[in-house]
Structure formats: C-alpha cells, structure tokens
Amino acid sequence: MPDTRGSIHGQWSSRFVFILAAVGSAVGLGNIWKFPYITGENGGGAFVLVYLVCIALIGVPIMMAEILIGRRGRQSPINTMRVLVADEQANPAWRWLGWLGVVTGFLILSYYSVIAGWALAYVFRAGAGLFTGADADSVSTLFGALLGSPESMLAWHTIFMVMTMVVVARGVRGGLEKAVTLLMPALFVLLVLLVFYAMYQGAFARGVEFLFNADFSKVFQHCESLESGGPASCRFTGEPLLIALGHAFFTLSLGMGAIMVYGSYMPGNASIARATLIIVAADTVAALLAGLAIFPIVFANGLEPAAGPGLIFQTLPIAFGSMPGGRLFGTLFFVLLTFAAWTSAISLIEPAVAWLVENRGIARVPAAIAVGVLAWVLGIGSVLSFNLWSGESFQLFGKTWFDLMDYLTANILLPLGGLFIALFAGWVMSRAASRGELRMGDRRGYRTWRFLVRYVSPWLVVIVFLNAIGLI
C-alpha cells in the first residue's frame, strides 16, 4: 500500500532533499565537538572501534526502522505511533515511545544550544583575528574567558535558540532545505583542509595511532582531566561501552523521533536502505575527519586528549592561528560548524512542533516559539554549569547540570528509545508492513535487516546497559 497517507506538514521535494536533511540532522556538534572529546576521554582506538561496531550493528538497522516507521505513519512521532499501534492492533502502551522522543529532543536541545553558542562566539573571535599566532596557553585563556562569563554564554545561547525557532517556524520546505544544500558540502571541504594542516604541522602519526590503534586494555578506561589542567586521571569501568553506544545514537540522531519525523516527510518511492547507508557514511566520515584533524594538533602542542568538552575550542584555534589564511578559514569553519549545529537543532524540536500543530491545532510559529523558549530556560542550567554552578555543592552524582543532561539523554534515553524502536519494527510490525515499506528488491537484504533489528540490536543495547550498571 504505497503512500496512502500524506503528511499535513508537506513533503521533501525529492529523495535527494530527504537525504540532505537527514545528513543535516546527523552531522553536527556530535561529530566535530563531541566525538573527539569523548574519544580523548576514553582512551582512543579501542573506543573508536566499539563506536564503529555500534554504528554498523545498531545504528544502521535502527535508522532503517525509524525511517520506515515515520514514513508509514506520516505524522509526528506521537501520532505516528498511535496510527501504527492501530494498524498492527498492538498494545496501546507503545504510544509512550512517541512521547519519550519528544521529551528527549527537548532536553538535548537545551544544552546543544549552549554548545552551539560557543561555536557562534568563536566565529567572531576568529574573525577578529584573536587566534593569530596563538599557542596552547593563549587559546586556553581565551576559552576560559568565555566559560567564565555566564552573561556572554547566555547571550550566544539565546541567539542560537532564536535562530532555531525561526527556521522551524518557517516549516519543512521554507527553511530546512536551503540551508543544507550548500553548507554541508562546504563543511566537509574545510574538514579535509584541517586534516591536511594536521598532516603537515601536527603530530600526525601519533594522532592516527591514537585514533585507530585499538588497545583493548583501554576499552574499560575512562579518564578525566583534573581541574588544574594537569594530566588525566583514569579509572577502570564499563562506562566507555555505554558512552560509545550512546554516542552512536546521538551522532546519527536516532532514538528520539528526529529521523522518524524526517522520514514522515520522505517521498514514498525512495529507498530507505540506500538513504540510510548514505546518511551513516556521511556522518561517520565527518567524525573521523574531525578526529584526524584534532588529535595531531593535540599531541603536537602537548595538550591533554582528555581535556573534555573544550577540546576543539582549545586545539583548532592553534591551527587557524598559524596556517596561511587562517583568519578566513577559522571564521569560515566556525560559521559552518554553527550551521551544522543549526540543521541538527532544527530536527531536535521538529517532533514536538509537529505534534503541537497536529493535536493542538497550534500554528507552526507559536508552536516553535513555545518549545524553543522552554528549552532555552532549561539551557540556563547548562550555561551555569561551566561557571557559577560548577562547584561540588551544585552537583548531583558528581555531575554538573550539563553533564547530567548529556548523560541522561545520550547514554540512557536515546538507547532506550532506540531499543523500543527496534522492538516495535522487528517484533510488533508485521512482516508485510515492514517489507512493504522498505520495498527492498533484495530478499537477502531484507532478511539481514530483520534479523539485526529483532535479535542483534536490542540485545546489544540491553547487554551494554546491564554492563554499565554493573549487573554483568
């Protein structure tokens, strides 16, 4: 039954635009800001390998599941689940899955916008030539000044959130499509340029070894750099597995309905499997390029790989400060990073906005404003986590508000959402339904997908969870 339902929010103008939008959602701060710093905190190569395995065995099948559910339901995740529950005569409790996604997206956006604000602030620092001739010390002073000023962090957070609300308010075609077409390819070009810089000016061999030499004694080592900026302290724990798993979901925008809602705007005749492979490949390449650009600079300048969330802001300016044309390239890079974050942020609130439009009859503009303002308020906690609330008396389980939001969403809520999406697509939806929606000509391909989504992905998620809480 191809395309009996249509989306009231419109549809992407082509299959290509769907892929662009999904790549826009996937490629973002997760690749360029988060992947390098968590890799640095979790020992490098072995962590990267676990992450890549999670992408292949969990990310790919669950992305296909999410797109197919979205395209079959053709509504916001909450209503899509309602429709599919009716189609399949499934337990109504599955409808909670849509809600889980809406809440998760909103929580992620709250801190995502704060970090995107850093990128925005750095556009102007690079443009003003503040990196020229910078070394590790001056760059870290510059970064410290941003963190130490809640006012300016709040201002950038506010600007970014307004940017996000504006695009979401304009709707699927008006806003989202144009931004991605040009800017995503440009970001890739700049990343490649940075890798070339790292090749000639950085400790490239050491960087490559750190990223790709899997030393398995380090899979269970989680390191944190000390307050003083001294060498990292490491401890033995199962947490890196959970962080790698959680990051696979985060980086691919899976487990919360973002890809589902984009799938609901996907033309009926496009191949879900092929789109998935392109999206996953682009996202993975972006992350690995970022790693290849950053670690050689880290080692060449005696920096600490486990420096934490500030890693790219304390390494890349050194590169821009010493390369020819660095002022221009630096500015351009942070502009593109901001755009990458922007196209991801949009997808974080689209599920909630689409639902408000469908169920409450609210127009897109007020719906986007309502969700954005709520996330903005919650984001203030993350702004303060780096300054006024960084002290121990403001921490819970040894984590600041920002750390807590990050941990809760990326490592718990997204894998949980993904687990249920896999179970729904693999066990609840009939074979006829998933087969019909995937329209895979290739029998073997469909069988492999169904096997992965029924048996492999869910079990892996469960095992990693149990391991992280110390049960196995």
CB-based closest residue to ligand PFF: 30
Q: Which is nearer to Na ion, 239 or 283 (CB)?
A: 283
- Residue 110 binding Na ion, by CB under 5 A: no
- Interface residues toward ligand PFF, by CB under 6 A: 25-26, 28-31, 105, 108, 250-251, 253, 256, 258, 344, 347-348
Q: Which is nearer to ligand PFF, 27 or 300 (CB)?
A: 27
Q: Which is nearer to Na ion, 31 or 75 (CB)?
A: 31
Q: Which does 25 bind (CB under 5 to 8 A by kind): ligand PFF, Na ion, none?
A: ligand PFF
What are phi and psi for residue 222, nearest 5 degrees? Answer: -110, 125
Question: Half-sphere exposure (CA, 13 Å, Cβ side) for 390?
Answer: 9
Q: Which is nearer to ligand PFF, 239 or 350 (CB)?
A: 350
Q: Which is nearer to ligand PFF, 111 or 329 (CB)?
A: 111
C-alpha span between 459 and 423 (Å, rounded): 10
- Residue 104 binding Na ion, by CB under 5 A: no
Q: Which does 264 bind (CB under 5 to 8 A by kind): Na ion, ligand PFF, none?
A: none
In the window 203-222, what residues touch Na ion (CB under 5 A)? none
Nearest-approach distance from CB 161 to Na ion, in angstroms: 20
Nearest-approach distance from CB 31 to ligand PFF, in angstroms: 5
- Residue 102 binding Na ion, by CB under 5 A: no
Query: If binding means CB under 5 A, how many residues of this protein chain bind Na ion?
Result: 5
- Residue 191, CA distances (Å) to 5, 49, 305 in order: 40, 21, 19
Choosing from 7, 31, 264, 301, the residue that interacts with Na ion (CB under 5 A) is 31
Q: Which is nearer to ligand PFF, 261 or 433 (CB)?
A: 261
Nearest-approach distance from CB 3 to ligand PFF, in angstroms: 25
Nearest-approach distance from CB 245 to ligand PFF, in angstroms: 14
Which listed range, 66-74, 101-109, 247-255, 288-296, lies at the site for Na ion (CB under 5 A)?
A: 247-255
Q: Which is nearer to ligand PFF, 251 or 411 (CB)?
A: 251
Choosing from 76, 104, 251, 338, the residue that interacts with Na ion (CB under 5 A) is 251
25's tokens: 């959602």
Which listed range, 113-121, 231-239, 251-259, 265-273, lies at the site for Na ion (CB under 5 A)?
A: 251-259
Nearest-approach distance from CB 86 to ligand PFF, in angstroms: 25
Nearest-approach distance from CB 147 to ligand PFF, in angstroms: 20
Nearest-approach distance from CB 436 to ligand PFF, in angstroms: 26
Which listed range, 122-130, 264-272, 275-283, 434-442, lies at the site for Na ion (CB under 5 A)?
A: 275-283
- Residue 284 binding Na ion, by CB under 5 A: no
- Residue 23 binding Na ion, by CB under 5 A: no
Nearest-approach distance from CB 382 to ligand PFF, in angstroms: 15
- Residue 369, CA distances (Å) to 210, 334, 366, 427 in order: 44, 26, 5, 38
Nearest-approach distance from CB 201 to ligand PFF, in angstroms: 27
Interface residue list for Na ion (CB under 5 A): 26, 30-31, 251, 283
